[in-house]
Amino acid sequence: MKKDLKFNSKTIHGGQHPDKAYGAVMPPIYQTSTYAQTTPGGHKGYEYSRSANPTRTALEQALASIENGSHGLAFASGLAAIDAVLKLLGPGDEVISTSDLYGGSYRLFKKVFEKYGIRFHFVGMDNMEAIESYINPNTKMVWVETPTNPMMNIIDIKAVSALTQKHGLLLAVDNTFATPYLQQPLDLGADIVMHSATKYLGGHSDVVVGGLVVKDKSLADRLYFIQNASGAVCGPMDSFLTLRGIKTLHVRMQRHCENGEAIAKYLQAHPKIEKVYWPGFETHPNHKVAKAQMKGFGGMISFVPKGNYDDAIKIVEKLNLFTLAESLGGVESLAGHPASMTHASIPKEEREKSGVVDALIRLSVGIEDVEDLKADLEQALS
Ligand SMILES: Cc1ncc(COP(=O)(O)O)c(C=O)c1O
C-alpha cells in the first residue's frame, strides 16, 4: 500500500513501520554494536552494526522510498557514499564527470582514486556530443551533479542517460542540491542517486550523513558489499536525525524554493550585483531543462558582486542573518565564498574556467522570513 503513496506522504511514511518491539512510531535509536544470538547464526536479522542496524535500516528504506528506488544505503558522509560508488571501479577504468562539481568530490576523484589508476575527465555537460567524445572502451561511469555546485548549471539527466544506456555505462547523479522533492534521477534513467544527506535531507545542520539509492538488486548487492567491507556507515543517532529531517523535506523545500526565488530576483535587480546564477531565470542557459526536469528551482543561488576577492570577503563578513559557513540545505540561511572555502581544493585556473571566480558568493537560502533575509543582504551590500 505504501508503494503507491505520493511524494509528500512518502517523506513521512515511505518504508516505515512501527517498531516491532513496542510499537514505537519513530524507530528507536538502536545504540548497539552487536545482537544476541540464540545459536550461531540464530539472530533476528541483525548481527553486527557495521553490517546492519535497525535505525539505519529505517533510514535506508526511507531513502529508497523518496527516490523511487528499491534499495537505499546510508553512509558516514556524502563523500563516504561517493567513495563506495567509485570502489565499483578498478584500475584502467574511466569516469566522465561534470566540470564544476563539488570541490570535495573533485578532490576525492583526483587525489585519491586517480592514484589507484582510475581516470577522470571533467566536461561541461550541456552538450551531449562533448560527453560522447570522451567515451572509449575504458569508460565505465558518468558522474553528474545537477544543479552544479556552485554555478547552478543544470544537466539534462534524461539526455545523459540516453547516452549511458547506449554505451552500457553506469550513470550516477549527485542529487544533493535538488533533493527528490525537485527531481528524481532514477525516474529519468540514472542507475545510482547519491546524497550528501548532511544538507537538505537532514535539513537542520546537525548531522553528516551520506546516502545512495539504486533500483537494481545486483548493483545494490555490490554496493552493500562495499559498504560492509569498507565500513563507512553512519551511526544510529545520525540515522535517526536524518530520518526525522526527511519527514519535513517537502514543506521545507517548498519554502526554500519560495525564498530562493525572492532573493534571486532581489539580487538581480540590485545595482551592486554583476551576475546572479539561479536556474529559475528565463535567461539562465539551462532554464528550459530545469523547468522540464525539476518541480521548482530550489534555494541555492550564486552571485558575483561588483568588485574583487576582497569586496566579496567584506560582504560575507558583514552578513548577520546569513551565517558565513560551509554547507547548505539547513533551515537557516548560510553564505559561502567558494574560492576560499568549498572550492579551495580546486586549482584557481581550473575553477575559473567553470566560472568560480574570486568574487563569487554562494547562498543557501533558508526558511526564515524573506524580508529579514533581504534586509540582511541590503546592509551587507551597502
Ligand atoms: C553537492 C555535494 N555533494 C557531495 C558533498 C559531500 O558531502 P559530505 O559533506 O556529507 O561528505 C557535498 C558537501 O558539501 C555537496 O555539496
Alpha carbon nearest to ligand 1 atom 7, residue: 78
For the stretch 320-332, pLDDT in tens is 999 999 999 999 9
Rounded to the nearest 5°, which phi and psi values hold at 78? Answer: -60, -40
Of 17-21, 71-75, 110-114, least confident by mean pLDDT is 17-21
pLDDT for res 103: 86
- The CA–CA distances, whole Å, from 319 to 262, 335, 354, 366 equal 18, 8, 26, 14
Nearest atom (ligand 1) to Cα of 176: 1
Pick from 330, 316, 320, 328: nearest CA to 359: 316
What the block records as the C-alpha cell of 2 is 505504501
Average pLDDT over every residue of 12-30: 95
Coil, strand or helix at 304: strand
Pick from 208, 243, 194: nearest CA to 17: 243
In percent, the amount of the chain with pLDDT more than 90 equals 92
Residues counted in the chain: 382
Pick from 367, 82, 49: nearest CA to 239: 49
Phi-psi region of 128 (alpha: psi -120 to 50; beta: other; left: phi over 0): alpha
Would you name the residues annotated as active-site residues? 50, 102, 174, 199
Distance CA 330, CA 353 (A): 29
Whether 207 is in the pocket of ligand 1, judged by its Cβ within 6 Å, is no
Mutate to test the pocket of ligand 1, among 143, 176, 242, 346 (most ligand atoms within 8 A of CB): 176
State in Å: Cα 284 to ligand 1 middle: 24
Average pLDDT over every residue of 201-222: 98
Alpha carbon nearest to ligand 1 atom 6, residue: 78
Nearest atom (ligand 1) to Cα of 210: 10
pLDDT for res 345: 76
Whether 149 is in the pocket of ligand 1, judged by its Cβ within 6 Å, is yes
Whether 67 is in the pocket of ligand 1, judged by its Cβ within 6 Å, is no
State in Å: Cα 240 to ligand 1 middle: 19
CA angle at 235 for the pair 231 and 237, rounded to the nearest 5°: 175
For the stretch 140-164, pLDDT in tens is 999 999 999 899 999 999 999 999 9
* pLDDT above 80 (res 3): no
For the stretch 163-206, pLDDT in tens is 999 999 999 999 999 999 999 999 999 999 999 999 999 999 99
State in Å: Cα 11 to ligand 1 middle: 21
Mutate to test the pocket of ligand 1, among 199, 207, 326 (most ligand atoms within 8 A of CB): 199
